[in-house]
Structure 1
Amino acid sequence: MKFREKKYAMPIGLVLAIILGIILTPFLGVICFAPLLVALIGFYIPYYFGLKDRRKLAVWGLAFVLILSIPFTLSVISQIDASENNMLHTPDNELYNGTVTPFRGSPGDTHEFSIMGTSEVVNNSVKVIITNALNGQKVNEFTMIASGEMSGDQEFTYRAEFDDNALYSYQFTATVDGKPIETGRNLGPVYNSNTDIFIAYWPTVIFALLIQVGLLFYFLLAFNWYSERSRARMEDMIKQRQLSQDAFPDKIDAGEELTCSKCGANVSEDTSRCSQCGERFGDELSHLDENEFECSECGATVVGDAKRCWKCGVEFEE
């Protein structure tokens, strides 16, 4: 028995597809062909291991996306936890060591945003921009307060309170030599628990995976259906053609006509001589009339006093 025909082959195929899908899902936004690769894995690995029913494949496609969305959402939560130790800075480090403390909290808590700036930074231009990380909406923008002398690097700070139970992100901006500069964006402060973040973020991940992977998966399913349908039509056409040939054969039934062994002409069953070459059939095949003989060149039967073969034209000696 082949491995794919065994009972445990299909579960192994499903698990293998899930493992490979989980490994590749974080690269969906990095590698251009990653969504197609994940869709191919999700479709063809189970198909190879025996999951060929299209209805079951359609259900599996949805389950595949839902399963992939869980570890992907958990990876987002782990990235949120890792954001606590991130320090923001501008590309040329005019602003550096930007952070917020405390990183986690609850509505009503006071959080201090701080960042270091070089002497090139205009004093009143340093700002912190707060955004709701889940919906991308800007919450507020605050001008930060400088501390220390302007002759060297100094710290800019701002204390703020937030009333909504949400997941925030922040970014610092400033002006140097009349040009605006900005840092990257970091998460914080975080007011939601990891469970709340998962519940809020999971539907977004599911929708994104359905668009990126799910549509490609169901396209492969439709293509598979069309290919099998076309193949079945072709096989049906071949069968119909064969039946037609059997019903209307090109050659006439052997009971109605015979084929001359000499010249290959079709002759009637009840004739005793070929109309083309004169070959005799049946009981007369074994002997010739006393006044007849066979042409030595073509085998045709000619009368005894003939001087030339009626078929091939050869002349006979007297």
Structure 2
Amino acid sequence: MSPETLSVQVWNLLLRFRKTVWFRVTYLVLLGLIVPNLLPFTAGGLGCLVIILVPLAVFLVPYYLGERSVRHFAVNALPVILMAILVGGAQSTNLLLSQPLAVPLSSVPGPFASPTMALANGTVAPYHADPPQAFTFRVRLTTTGNGTPTDFRVFMNLTTISGLASYVTSNFNMSFSATPGNSNNTHLGTWYEYTTLNLSNQIYGYGFSVWDKDANWTFTNLDFGPLTAPVANFYGLFVYFTAFSMILPFVFYYIILFMWWYTVRQRASRTRMLGAEPQIPKEKPKPKVESAEPTKSEKASKAAAFTCTNCGADVDESAEKCPHCGAVFEE
């Protein structure tokens, strides 16, 4: 078989496949796999672009492939949303659980950080473990001025997530870490730690904060950990978060769909109006006007329109003198 014949047969198979419902299923599955890979960009500066790009992709791909049914467009979004939520939840779960160690937490300059205090290298060890086990949280405090560990109070902020929208935050006072090389001068950097055994197989999030016993506070960012919950718990939580993140893009999708449907409807309406033959009403025949000759009385009235002032006889309006008395009329 020649390459030309093979390419023709493959092309014919693709054309026949395109006419089946499985072609539509194929591109919807591909869209369902592409959309969740765009969602992580919503957390950065491209968030607004992604919110618009996702609904445009879901609309334009079927449109480019020849789809024109409004009903199909409306239904297409549903499997894409479902697959994007399930796949996005799985990707987020895998990304978190594949981390071997905790990502160090630190304070970021801004409204939640005092310029005189900074926290860095906040971690928990072990990061992956099954309770009951000792979990140690450590963070380093650095201040702009000299100070002792007792001049500041450092806290470990632990959030316990027991449901999709149920969580409890607890603050634990950390103490000076008696490890070799740890400085007693906070200006040089002082380590604090806290060890606990009272953890279960729930989802936890942790962070750190410091108070200078006056009016200044500094907070670190937050992260999940330690990872003690089953995989299914994390998957359910991330599916919940992904579902919320999909609301706005697909609201825009149905707005785009409505605008397209309305535009097509108006264009079709104008086409029907312009293509119709003008309905010109037929003129009604005008009634015949009969030419009526003046009656004798009318002739007499016209004839008797003037009277001779000399003899009183009736005179025609065109007469120059009276036919009875011969008086001449003045014009």
Fold similarity call, TM over 0.5: yes
Equivalent positions of 1:261-272 (< 5 A) are none
1:192 alignment partner, one of 223, 229, 247 = 229
Quick one: distance in 2 between partners of 1:28 and 1:156?
35
Higher deviation after alignment, 172-181 or 58-67: 172-181
How far the C-alpha of 1:198 sits from its partner, in A, is 0.9
> Could you list the per-position Cα deviations for residues 184-205 of structure 1 after superposition, in whole angstroms to 9, with x for gaps in the alignment?
2121012222233112321331
Give the residue type in structure 2 aligned to 1:24: L
How far the C-alpha of 1:37 sits from its partner, in A, is 1.2
- The 1:110/1:249 distance shift into structure 2, 3 A limit, reads farther
Contact 1:94 1:121 in 2 (8 A): no
Give the residue type in structure 1 aligned to 2:50: A
How far the C-alpha of 1:229 sits from its partner, in A, is 1.4
1:131 alignment partner, one of 152, 159, 164 = 159
2:261 alignment partner, one of 225, 234, 256 = 225
Aligned position for 2:7: none
Gaps of 5+ in 1: 251-318
Quick one: distance in 2 between partners of 1:51 and 1:85?
48
2:104 alignment partner, one of 64, 75, 87 = 87
Quick one: distance in 2 between partners of 1:125 and 1:114?
14
Quick one: distance in 2 between partners of 1:26 and 1:150?
42
Quick one: distance in 2 between partners of 1:121 and 1:128?
19
- The 1:203/1:174 distance shift into structure 2, 3 A limit, reads closer
SS at match of 1:58: helix
How far the C-alpha of 1:157 sits from its partner, in A, is 1.4
Counting strand residues as a fraction of each chain, which structure ranks higher? 1
- The 1:131/1:107 distance shift into structure 2, 3 A limit, reads same
Higher deviation after alignment, 61-70 or 22-31: 22-31
> Could you list the per-position Cα deviations for residues 250-291 of structure 1 after superposition, in whole angstroms to 9, with x for gaps in the alignment?
9xxxxxxxxxxxxxxxxxxxxxxxxxxxxxxxxxxxxxxxxx
Give the residue type in structure 2 aligned to 1:125: R
Contact 1:170 1:188 in 2 (8 A): yes
Identity %: 22
Contact 1:89 1:96 in 2 (8 A): yes
Equivalent positions of 1:120-269 (< 5 A) are 120=147, 122-123=149-150, 124-132=152-160, 135=165, 137-148=167-178, 150-151=184-185, 153-176=189-212, 178=214, 179-209=216-246, 211-240=247-276, 242=277, 244=279
Quick one: distance in 2 between partners of 1:42 and 1:169?
35
Aligned position for 1:112: 136
Quick one: distance in 1 between partners of 2:94 and 2:155?
28
Quick one: distance in 1 between partners of 2:261 and 2:32?
23
SS at match of 1:128: strand
CA RMSD of aligned residues (A): 3.3
Give the residue type in structure 2 aligned to 1:86: V
Gaps of 5+ in 2: 1-10, 109-114, 284-331
Number of matched residues? 246
Larger RCO (CA under 8 A, 6+ residues apart) = 2
SS at match of 2:172: strand
- TM norm structure 2: 0.63
Quick one: distance in 1 between partners of 2:278 and 2:17?
39
SS at match of 1:117: strand
Contact 1:173 1:183 in 2 (8 A): yes
